[in-house]
Amino acid sequence: MALVTLCPDCGTAYRVNAAQLQAHNGDVRCGQCQQIFNGFSTLITADESTLAYPEQLQTADPEQETVKDSLSAGAATASENVDEVQELSTIANFTEVNKATVTDVFDAPRVSRPLPWRWGMANALLVILLIGQIAFTNRTALTVQFPDSRLHWERLCAVLACTVPYPQDIKRIGIEASDLQKHPARHPEMATLNALIRNHASFSQGLPALQLSLLDAQDQLLASRIFTAQEYLPESEKSLQFMRPQQEIEVQLNFDNSRLHAWGYRLQLLYP
């Protein structure tokens, strides 16, 4: 492979080497149109087999034109500058390359570098996406801090097919009262658990589950079961999805006690 540079003015291509280009920081003169250009700016590589027809390409120096004008002003003063002029205008042994063999290389599309403002926009977009992802992950916590934002999150989730869960702070939901009743006269096999639960939080919360444990006379566990909200809610409140701040819900559970003969119970609130 050989190094090839192309005159930007007339399109003539030349074979070069690194030492020739470095002589004057890459500045050279085209042997065809005498145009001075920087050989590094159009430098490529080409196959040796495609190189043909030697052509002259001169190295150029910004001070060269001034020296030539001074030499033509008078022959008397020219002799002392001959060595310097010859050094600056030495014809480099560059070889012209058949233009057809390098056309495809020079016509190939160049990869454009992204402008600084594009990088800035890309970084800003990534930051916005990151903030959006963090907000989406913590959307439930945000509805606690900003209750009015729930409507906007629910609209967004309607598009994204997601949900906005309600907070679940079990420590702020309490059992205000409860009792276990038996009906020996009318229904001796049935027992009824009544309870009143309350949301003490200043924000709405998801409905908790109830764990009922039945005990014998020695407080030993006989049976235990977890009831979901849909199982313990009254028929009139089956569509309820959450508990409003300070809201109370009455719970009534009927169960068959004919085999267990429970004497006591334990009731616990939990989020599965």
Instruction: Assess contact for 69 and 38: CB atoms under 8 A.
Output: no
Is the entire prediction scored with pTM above 0.85? Answer: no
Q: Give the pLDDT confidence of 199-246 residue by residue, as tens digits.
A: 999 999 999 999 999 998 898 999 999 999 999 998 888 888 899 999
* Extended strands (E) in 98-245: 173-183, 187-199, 205-206, 209-215, 221-227, 242-243
Instruction: Assess contact for 271 and 168: CB atoms under 8 A.
Output: yes
Domain co-membership, 82 together with 127: no
Domain co-membership, 100 together with 174: no
Q: Give the pLDDT confidence of 30-85 residue by residue, as tens digits.
A: 878 888 888 778 777 776 666 554 444 555 554 444 434 433 444 333 333 333 33
Structure confidence at residue 118 as a pLDDT band (50, 70, 90): confident
Residue 168's DSSP bridge partners are none
> What is the span of the domain harbouring residue 256?
170-270
**Residue 165 lies inside a defined structural domain of this protein:** no
- Point out the domain boundary residue: 107, 125, 146: 107
Domain co-membership, 76 together with 147: no
Beta strands 2-6; 13-16: pairing state: antiparallel
Determine the pLDDT at residue 76: 38
Cα angle for residues 157, 160, 161 (degrees, 5° grid):
75
Q: Give the pLDDT confidence of 150-183 residue by residue, as tens digits.
A: 888 889 898 888 999 999 999 999 999 999 888 7
Which burial class, exposed, middle or buried, applies to 87 when counting CB atoms under 10 A from its CB (0-12, 13-18, 19+)?
exposed
Domain co-membership, 93 together with 143: no
- Point out the domain boundary residue: 99, 126, 160: 160
**Residue 231 lies inside a defined structural domain of this protein:** yes
**Residue 152 lies inside a defined structural domain of this protein:** yes
Determine the pLDDT at residue 188: 72
How many structural domains comprise the chain? Answer: 3
Q: Give the pLDDT confidence of 234-260 residue by residue, as tens digits.
A: 888 888 889 999 999 999 888 888 888
Domain co-membership, 25 together with 101: yes
Q: Give the pLDDT confidence of 31-41 residue by residue, as tens digits.
A: 788 888 887 78
Domain co-membership, 177 together with 156: no
Count other Cβ atoms within 10 Å, centred on residue 163. 12
